[in-house]
Structure 1
Amino acid sequence: MRMNEVAYTDALPIDGYGPGFFRVGGEVHQGNILTGPTGTTDWGSYEDSASLIALAGEVDVLFIGTGAEVAHIPTALRRQLETAGIGVETMNSPAACRTYNVLLSEGRRVALAALAV
């Protein structure tokens, strides 16, 4: 079996998550996060659409982790993101973290906004 070392580009991978936290690139962040090529910051949930729209031109796909369960995001937020040219994929936060890491390791232009579990 051939093994390849995974190299992440501009963004850091999600190393772990648990009740109320995410570990990104070895650093623990409490609460909701937004991470991608511009770094990792706190995310104010769906009402904080400005920080997501600011990703336009930086990412092709934004994964939105909806917490422990899969849920729909507000329709207005989805429209804003799609109008800005950002593809949106929603899933529960654990699945969003895993999918983000896979695409990040492929060198894709992705970001993750996740609600804490």
Structure 2
Amino acid sequence: MFGKGIIIREAHFPGRAAIEAYGNGGFRFADMSHRGSLLCLPSGIHGWQPADATALSVADFDKVLAEAGKIEILLVGMGKELRPLPAALRAALKQAGISADPMSTGAAVRTYNVLLAEDRAVAAALVAVD
């Protein structure tokens, strides 16, 4: 007999991969597609659901902060338009030794791919765009 229902697991790709495409509310990487936002960390690529993409909080970056010793640069794709990071978030990242650069999601994807190819200690928090 089968178990009780479908088990939904947290979206996670256990490796580093370039982002092949973005738009339509998601991303393509490693010959896969993901609907929604992403965290690209040294531990892998994780599905990400910030509470409010227009007002990111420190709690939205718990996974980033947990890997702080492995990340020098965090690219924050803020959606279609650049918005500043909230002061509390910027302070928490700085205290963890992470340089955070907010930009549009498109610019963050392109920059992430270049820095990843250079084997830099880079991570990205990417808000999905339509």
Aligned pair count? 108
Alignment partner of 2:16 out of 11, 15, 31: 11
Aligned position for 2:27: 22
Q: Determine which structure has greater relative contact order: mean sequence separation of CA pairs < 8 Å that are 6+ residues apart, divided by chain length.
A: 1
Q: Report the CA distance between 1:50 and its aligned residue.
A: 0.9
Identify which of 78, 85, 105 aligns with 2:117: 105
Moved more, 10-19 or 41-50: 41-50
In structure 2, the partner of 1:61 is: 73
The list of structure 1 runs, each at least 4 consecutive aligned residues, that deviate by more than 4 angstroms after superposition, is none
The answer as to 2:105 corresponding to 1:93 is yes
Structure 1: stretches of 5+ with no match in the other structure:
1-9
Alignment equivalent of 2:49, drawn from 44, 68, 83: 44
What is the percent sequence identity of the aligned residues? 42
Q: Deviations over 1:41-96 (max 9, x none)?
A: 11222231211211201111010000011111211111101100111111000000
Structure 2 counterpart of 1:31, which letter? G
C-alpha contact 1:65 1:90 (8 A) present in aligned 2: yes
- The one-letter code sitting in structure 1 at the alignment partner of 2:68 is A
Match of 1:3 in 2: none
Gaps of 5+ in 2: 1-14, 51-55
Give distance in 2, aligned partners of 1:100 and 1:56.
17
C-alpha RMSD of matched pairs (Å): 1.2
Given the two structures, how large is their TM-score scaled by the length of structure 2? 0.78
**Contact 1:21-1:28 at 8 Å conserved across structures:** yes
Do the aligned partners of 1:12 and 1:36 also contact (CA within 8 Å) in 2? no
